Amino acid sequence: VVTLYDVARRAGVSTATVSRVLHGQNLVRDTTRARVQQAIEDLGYIPDGAAQSLSRRRKEVIGLICCERPMHPEDVENRSMTYLDEMLRGVEHGVSAMDWSLLITFYNGHTTTNLRRILAMSGKVDGILISEGSFPVRLMERLASRVPVTIMAGSPDEPDFDVVTADNLAGEAAVVSHLITEHGVRTLYHVAGPSDAPDAAQRGLGLVRVLQDHPGTRLTGATRGSFNVETGLVAGERILAEARGELPDAVVAANDQMAIGVLRALTRAGVRVPDEVAVVGFDDIQAANLYEPQLTTVYQPMRMLGERACSRLIERIADPSLPAQTQMLPTELVIRRSCGCPPGTTIRRPVPPALAIAE
Amino acid sequence: VVTLYDVARRAGVSTATVSRVLHGQNLVRDTTRARVQQAIEDLGYIPDGAAQSLSRRRKEVIGLICCERPMHPEDVENRSMTYLDEMLRGVEHGVSAMDWSLLITFYNGHTTTNLRRILAMSGKVDGILISEGSFPVRLMERLASRVPVTIMAGSPDEPDFDVVTADNLAGEAAVVSHLITEHGVRTLYHVAGPSDAPDAAQRGLGLVRVLQDHPGTRLTGATRGSFNVETGLVAGERILAEARGELPDAVVAANDQMAIGVLRALTRAGVRVPDEVAVVGFDDIQAANLYEPQLTTVYQPMRMLGERACSRLIERIADPSLPAQTQMLPTELVIRRSCGCPPGTTIRRPVPPALAIAE
DNA sequence: CTGAAAGCGCTAACAA
DNA sequence: TTGTTAGCGCTTTCAG
């Protein structure tokens, strides 16, 4: 391979000068610069990243850990899948805007191998981004003791780390308020998310708060799913079984996949949605828009979430003394058909930060 | 930060010995080993990746370039999005099985910045994986002159690079054969993919070959889309407009997104699918299974594709003299409702490598 | 079994 | 403006 020395020799200068040219420093005479650039060109020189990192004492690489929800064999998909894509793009955008690189790995369970991999990563990057919250706190702390760590879509009240997350509580509150105030919904059934998912918890809170604020409304039941279509289906069947002629006015699912599962179960049983029961989800995945009836849901700006987390991390790498900070990104209420609005409806309504809770 | 020297000092040995312990070499006395391990533990030592790479003359990192299809502002999604996820998981799995790391970047257009980024990447990795084919050949060659390169989902007849791809031709042939022999389809409309997508081209070929083999069958028209729902919709409207009462027996779309677009247009116009017109797609994305009617399509093993590409690349890094090789992975015919099979049908039928062409 | 020491390719003082 | 040179943290002969 061609090294800096080769370039220097060919251009008849020292390696320092080549380095200067390489980094666009302007304390190089133009003619010299030209000669060096020519040499670089001729030789097709590309700097060695490892050597640069070592010398600069900085890798200009950030690590992304994607936590995978444990996947049961019968699951076709899982929430991480639709989740990841946009976030990844956001992160990559932020990273490459700074001309840094992105090292990515998946974390799927607390095995020795995974542990080793994750720890080793901290020796290869300047900072780490962790997607989703169900990541062992102990491990998070070990990582954080070595490099800055930012959590994406984590719990908003993490005291020791930077967190960037969507305003799940306000989003859920907004969609539930819509059901109650614009569709006269009184009885609701809640299909909650996994208990270890911080965003699911926030959504549950949002629902509860709105119910409290609206006397006369109440939960007729609740169950928990795993953020996938299968468990949504099961929830739907359970709703039917428990109903005995008394279906709730609306089913609120903690994400779109489960909402689609519920929709399926209801439709299959001959229940008309939204005429007999309204159904709403969360996330605004592709399929929410394709499904019939089109799903009313809440959009969270995953891409921006990735970008923000990334800039925050780079900020903290530059100045590790920064205090931990939580950023809540606003969501959007996406009103379509499944809540009871007329066919063909598509309204996107920004959800203001936390006021939405009040109504 | 804690370095190897710190560990060595604390354990009262030389750095060489620590290094040996670190890499499980067994020419170290047990008591010494224990002492060193204790020191590593105490200090929470984690080796510096850059220094290791530099010293070993090997980075143990592979680079993944994800080519994004240029996205028009009005596009909600694009094919790359659903495409990427599984492939990425496959690649990551392959990479971390070897205890290597994955550096990822997106390539979205031939700008100077992108060019620089991509070239710089070749200085940070031992080999590069390129997803999808619409990547400038010149650039590919420059990369290849520096590190081994493997192409995923590229054209199967690339002479100079390793290619791992699904057997698009056989897959398309299988689904078209199914339409013709099991549903008596005679007239077909083709919604082709972008002209620069090698897999789209292969699928087109598969369609044509089957038509040739079945006298009496013919194309009533064809149009080209961009692998997204929007262009599928446009194609569907065009089919309706061109039809004048004479709809084709079936519409063959080059991917699922476009098939869904067509489905939408037809349904909207009151055409019943599959009773009046059958529609089939390709890829077997999530939504294909959720949509009503459920879409008959062809599954390609994206995850395995990622894994295979990865192992091939690592093979070639170990031995750069290996001859270029193309691997074609078998697809599966996924028969559901939209081809005309009874509601509730779900049959997955492996497509044998190339024989499928014959029938 | 263990240690000394020569790099790996590049950056950044410091000198000239 | 340019060159000299001392590391960056680790691996790996080569000696002992």
Closest to A303 in 3D by CA, of A152, A96, A78:
A152
C1' (C12) to CA (A55) span, angstroms: 9
Contacts of A238 (CB under 8 A, 6+ apart): A223
Distance between CA atoms of residues B176 and B203, nearest Å: 10
| Interface test mutation site (partner B, options A54, A84, A99, max chain B beta carbons within 10 A) | A54
**pLDDT number for residue B17:** 97
Cα separation values, B158 from A259, B17, B128, Å: 45, 48, 16
Contact assignment for A103 to B105 by CB distance below 8 Å: no
Three-state secondary-structure class, residue B328: strand
Percent of chain A's residues with pLDDT above 90: 80
pLDDT at residue A70 tops 80: no
Q: Give the type of residue at B236.
A: G
B326-329 and B332-335: which strand pairing?
unpaired
Distance between CA atoms of residues A227 and A336, nearest Å: 21
Q: Are A203 and A193 in contact (CB under 8 A)?
A: yes
Three-state secondary-structure class, residue B183: helix
Mean pLDDT score, A30-53 = 97
Closest to A172 in 3D by CA, of A357, A36, A42:
A357
Percent of chain A's residues with pLDDT above 70: 94
**pLDDT number for residue B76:** 52
Size (chain A), residues? 359
Task: Name the DSSP letter for residue A161.
Answer: S
pLDDT at residue B333 tops 50: yes
Phi-psi region of A280 (alpha: psi -120 to 50; beta: other; left: phi over 0): beta
Three-state secondary-structure class, residue B95: helix
C1' (D7) to CA (A15) span, angstroms: 15
Mean pLDDT of chain A: 92
**pLDDT number for residue A301:** 94
- The whole-angstrom distance between residue B180's C-alpha and the CA centroid of its chain comes to 28
Task: Name the DSSP letter for residue B269.
Answer: T
Closest to B86 in 3D by CA, of B282, B302, B300:
B302
Contact assignment for B54 to A59 by CB distance below 8 Å: no
Mean pLDDT score, A39-52 = 97
Q: Are B203 and B282 in contact (CB under 8 A)?
A: yes
Contact assignment for B289 to A76 by CB distance below 8 Å: yes
**Chain B closest CA to A146's CA: distance in Å?**
8
Give A128-171 pLDDT, tens digit per residue: 999 976 789 899 999 999 999 999 988 888 888 999 999 999 99
Distance between CA atoms of residues A110 and A106, nearest Å: 12
Give B108-165 pLDDT, tens digit per residue: 889 999 999 999 999 999 999 999 767 898 999 999 999 999 999 888 888 889 999 9
Residue with CA nearest C1' of nucleotide C2: B17
pLDDT at residue B359 tops 50: no
C1' (D2) to CA (A53) span, angstroms: 24
Distance between CA atoms of residues B79 and A158, nearest Å: 36
**pLDDT number for residue A291:** 84
Is the shortest CB-to-strand distance from A12 to strand D under 7 Å?
yes
Distance between CA atoms of residues A243 and A223, nearest Å: 14
Give B274-283 pLDDT, tens digit per residue: 999 999 999 9
Cα separation values, B160 from B130, B151, B312, Å: 14, 10, 14
Distance between CA atoms of residues A70 and A60, nearest Å: 31
Contacts of B341 (CB under 8 A, 6+ apart): B182, B183, B274, B296, B335, B347
Confidence of residue A244 (pLDDT cuts 50, 70, 90): confident
Q: Which residue has the tokens 């209420």?
A: A333
Contact assignment for B287 to A290 by CB distance below 8 Å: yes
Q: Mean pLDDT lowest for which of A3-7, A71-75, A231-235, B211-215?
A: A71-75
pLDDT at residue A74 tops 80: no
Considering only CB atoms, which chain B residues are within 8 Å of A59? 49-50
Mean pLDDT score, A31-39 = 97
Higher-confidence residue of A133 and A215: namely A215
pLDDT at residue A116 tops 90: yes
Residue-by-residue DSSP string for A75-97: -S--HHHHHHHHHHHHHHHHHHH
Contact assignment for A44 to B289 by CB distance below 8 Å: no
Confidence of residue B353 (pLDDT cuts 50, 70, 90): confident
Higher-confidence residue of B204 and B78: namely B204
Q: Mean pLDDT lowest for which of A208-217, A252-261, B187-196, B288-297?
A: B288-297
Give B45-96 pLDDT, tens digit per residue: 999 999 999 999 999 999 999 988 766 544 555 555 567 888 999 999 999 9
Chain C nucleotides covered by protein, CB below 7 Å: 1-5, 7-13
**pLDDT number for residue A72:** 52
Considering only CB atoms, which chain A residues are within 8 Å of B51? 50, 54
Considering only CB atoms, which chain A residues are within 8 Å of B105? 92, 96, 101-102
**pLDDT number for residue A82:** 65
Mean pLDDT of chain B: 92
Q: Are B284 and B256 in contact (CB under 8 A)?
A: yes
Q: In this structure, what token pair is assigned to residue B78?
A: 């694009």
- Pairs of CB atoms within 8 A across A/B: 126
pTM: 0.92
Considering only CB atoms, which chain B residues are within 8 Å of A117? 96, 99
Q: In this structure, what token pair is assigned to residue B71?
A: 């996205």
